[in-house]
Amino acid sequence: MNLSVIIPVYNEVDSIEEILRRVRATGLPNEIIVVDDGSTDGTREILARLDGKDGIRVILHEKNQGKGAAVRTGLAAAKGDVLLIQDADLEYDPRDYPTLLRPLKEGIADVVYGSRFLGGPRRATMFWHMVANKLLTFLTNVLYDTILSDMETGYKVFRREVIEGMTLHAKRFDFEPEFTAKVLKRHYRIFEVPISFNPRDYSQGKKIKLRDAFEAVWTLLKYRFVD
């Protein structure tokens, strides 16, 4: 597999070097594309030093546009046969890459979601955030006749052909429901695997807000009926 790892980044000066170290330590990516979405906290200075080393390629957004916009930029630039989205905040562990990639290697999936709710180890925190995730996943299952356990997961891995001809519009955290809706409407095979999860709280810089939950609901409803 020719694997491209796409890392959207915004103001992650305390974690960017560590997540890149962890991704490289897996020995699996052929390229690591870091899309800095207008950071102002010193992240860009670190990335300037790392750009071009150990398979790392840095792309800069001149102003903050949102996670979805950064992911879309990374997808457009990626050259791999398999694309993996990795958050920069250390909530998701790259040591789960072999588990995420296995269903693709075995030919039983086109898309793999790393689920935080299938029994993997996780930090016990953020109850209401978990409730919101489960409600959004339930709505996804009702609207699209599926049985996902974690639609909102940041770990999504898929073959390049899945997004060929797929137009994505998401700018913020609506990437997750838009991508999921369009994958399900195209009848691609989604496989879920358990992953470890170490969530940070808002005092540690977590960025997703309540309004993003409402935007996710609207996104799921909208793409159920339009493309």
Read off the pTM. 0.92
Q: Are 182 and 166 in contact (CB under 8 A)?
A: yes
First-last CA distance in the chain: 30
- Looking up residue 55, the CATH number of its domain turns out to be 3.90.550.10
**Residue range 128-134: average pLDDT?**
89
Other Cβ atoms within 10 Å of 113 Cβ, number: 28
Asked if residues 144 and 222 have their Cβ atoms less than 8 Å apart, the reply is no
Q: Which of 32-46, 123-137, 193-207 has the lowest mean pLDDT?
A: 193-207
3-state secondary structure of 34: strand
When divided into structural domains, the chain yields a total of 1
pLDDT computed for residue 202 by the predictor: 60
Which residues have a Cβ under 8 Å from the Cβ of 221 and sit 6 or more positions away? 143
Average pLDDT over residues 158-183: 95
- Average model confidence (pLDDT) across the chain: 94
Q: Which domain range does residue 97 map to?
A: 3-225
Higher pLDDT, 173 or 40: 40
Catalogue the long-range contacts made by 161-165 (C-beta closer than 8 Å, 24 or more residues apart): 161/110, 162/110, 162/111, 162/186, 162/188, 163/75, 163/83
Query: For 3-26, how does the pLDDT look when each residue is reduced to its tens digit (9 = 90+)?
Result: 999 999 999 999 999 999 999 999
